[in-house]
Structure 1
Amino acid sequence: MQIDKSQIIELLKSQGKDDHADQAGSELPDRVDPEQHADLLARFGITPKDLLGKIPGLGGFGG
């Protein structure tokens, strides 16, 4: 499963992590595979489980 980088940036901004959002915008690929890019996501305080639970349409309960 791949997630659009913009969805991750919006998630970071919604959490008040604007600095991380700016950094993610320049470092993440356009399409992010949460498991393949787990180390990179961790730098921004995000786990694959966070994405599943917080981004609408990814099968989580928190979106």
Structure 2
Amino acid sequence: MNIDKAQIIDLLKSQGKNDDADRAQSELPDQVDPEQHSDLLAKFGINPQDLLGKIPGLGGFGG
């Protein structure tokens, strides 16, 4: 499942990680596959397993 880069950037900003959000803006592709891009996500302190639960609408139970 791909996740829109903007959602990841919003998540980082909501966690007060503005510097990481700025870097993610330039380094992440527009659509992020948590499994394929796990190394990039790790650079920003994001665990791909946790990502689905933290972004609204991606939790699987009605979001």
TM-score, normalising length: structure 1:
0.91
Say yes or no: does 1:44 pair with 2:44. Answer: yes
Give the distance between the partners of 1:54 and 1:60, measured in 2 at CA.
11
RMSD: 1.5
Question: Which residues of structure 1 form unaligned runs of 5+?
Answer: none
Aligned to 1:4: 4
Q: Letter of the aligned partner of 2:54 in structure 1?
A: K
Give the distance between the partners of 1:34 and 1:5, measured in 2 at CA.
11
Which 4+ stretches in 1 moved above 6 angstroms? none
Aligned to 1:16: 16
Deviation at 1:41?
0.3
- Compare relative contact order (CA 8 Å, sep 6+) and give the higher one, 1 or 2: 2
Question: Which residues of structure 2 form unaligned runs of 5+?
Answer: none
Q: Could you tell me the percent identity over the aligned residues?
A: 81
Give the distance between the partners of 1:57 and 1:48, measured in 2 at CA.
15
Give the distance between the partners of 1:30 and 1:42, measured in 2 at CA.
17
In the alignment of these two chains, the number of paired residues is 62
TM-score, normalising length: structure 2:
0.91
